[in-house]
Amino acid sequence: MGFLLSFHSIWRWVLLVAAVLVVVKSLTGWLGRRAWTSLDDRLGLAYVVTVDVQVLVGLIIWLFGAVGLRTLTQAMGNPGLRFLVLEHPILMLISMAFAHVGRGRSKRLLDPVAKHRSAFVFYSLSLLFLAAIFLMS
């Protein structure tokens, strides 16, 4: 479990960089009224995969680790433990949902500016929830 915890801790920085990258790229594409390129599509996919890996590893830690599902009842009375056991996973799942919605909507839309705008909105919301996790921990 130690390896997974270390990986989860290091991977969050990869996730943060990927989130900032897709938000900035989609914002510049939207405001610059640029065409939607294969790079935009690949960056969106890379971000979603990065989020999925982080959630999967976190879920494994939550289910089988010493602190997680097993300590859920004790966590309710302890704000620090409650954040780790309940609030952190919920915020991360919300962030993952926004990332997936942003990718899906940007793939379905036809207008390149609308694709960038939609990607920006949903990837920014995803980043907002990631930032909440970072700031609360």
For the chain, the domain total comes to: 1
Q: Are 23 and 127 in contact (CB under 8 A)?
A: yes
* Distance in angstroms (rounded) separating the CA atoms of residues 93 and 95: 5
In the 8-state DSSP scheme, what is residue 69? G
Residue 72: predicted pLDDT: 79
pLDDT, one tens digit per residue, over 87-103 is 999 999 999 999 999 99
Q: For the stretch 9-32, what's the b/e string if a residue is b when 16 or more beta carbons lie within 10 angstroms of its beta carbon?
A: eebbeebbebbeebbebbbebbee
Residue 76: predicted pLDDT: 86
Q: What is the residue range of 66's domain?
A: 2-136
Q: Digits of tens for pLDDT over the chain (137 positions)?
A: 899 999 999 999 999 999 999 999 999 999 999 999 999 999 999 999 999 999 999 999 999 988 887 787 888 888 888 898 899 999 999 999 999 999 999 999 999 999 999 999 999 999 999 999 988 87
Residue 75: predicted pLDDT: 81
Model pTM greater than 0.85?
yes
